[in-house]
Structure 1
Amino acid sequence: MMEKLFAFPKESSTSYVRLYPELSGPFVEATVCMRFRSDLTRRYSLFSLATPKKYNDFLLFYYDTTYNQSSLWVSDKEQLYDVQGHNFTEWTSICATWSSKAQAVWIDGRKYNNNNIENGEISAGPIIIIGQEQDSYGGKFSEWKSFVGEMTDLNMWDKALTDDNVIDYFAGNEVSGNVINWKALTYTSYGDVSIRPYVDPYPCIPV
Structure 2
Amino acid sequence: MAKPLTNCPQSTYHFPSGDQTRSYLRVKTPVPDLKQFTSCLWMKRYSKNIDPWISYSDGRIHNAIMVFTQGDELILWINDKSIHIPFPFPTSTDYHVCIASASSTTGKHYVFVNGELHQLINHAPGIVKGGGVFIIGQDQDDIGGGFQATQSLQGRVSNLAIWDRLLDLSEIVQMYQNRCICPPASILSSEINNVNINGGVSTQMTREC
Q: Under TM normalisation by the shorter chain, which class is it?
A: 0.7 to 0.9
Identity of aligned residues (%): 19
* 2:37 pairs with one of 27, 30, 37: 30
| TM-score in terms of structure 1 length | 0.86
Q: 1:25 to 1:3 in 2, by over 3 A?
A: closer
What amino acid does structure 2 have at the position aligned with 1:158? D
1:82: which partner in 2? Answer: 86
**2-structure distance, mates of 1:74, 1:2:** 26
Task: Answer yes or no: is 1:72 the counterpart of 2:76.
Answer: yes
2:26: which partner in 1? Answer: 18
What amino acid does structure 1 have at the position aligned with 2:176? F
- Shift of the alpha carbon at 1:146? 0.5
Task: Answer yes or no: is 1:61 the counterpart of 2:68.
Answer: yes
- Shift of the alpha carbon at 1:163? 1.6
- Shift of the alpha carbon at 1:180? 1.1
3-state DSSP of counterpart to 1:52: coil
- Shift of the alpha carbon at 1:179? 1.4
- Shift of the alpha carbon at 1:118? 1.5
* 1:120 pairs with one of 104, 126, 131: 126
* 2:206 pairs with one of 194, 198, 201: 198
3-state DSSP of counterpart to 1:145: coil
**1-structure distance, mates of 2:9, 2:122:** 36
**1-structure distance, mates of 2:190, 2:203:** 13
* 1:110 pairs with one of 106, 112, 116: 116
Q: What is the RMSD computed on CA atoms of the aligned residues? A: 2.1
**2-structure distance, mates of 1:91, 1:153:** 12
Q: 1:75 to 1:97 in 2, by over 3 A?
A: same
3-state DSSP of counterpart to 1:45: strand
2:100: which partner in 1? Answer: 97
**2-structure distance, mates of 1:162, 1:2:** 19
Paired residue total: 196
What amino acid does structure 1 have at the position aligned with 2:94? W
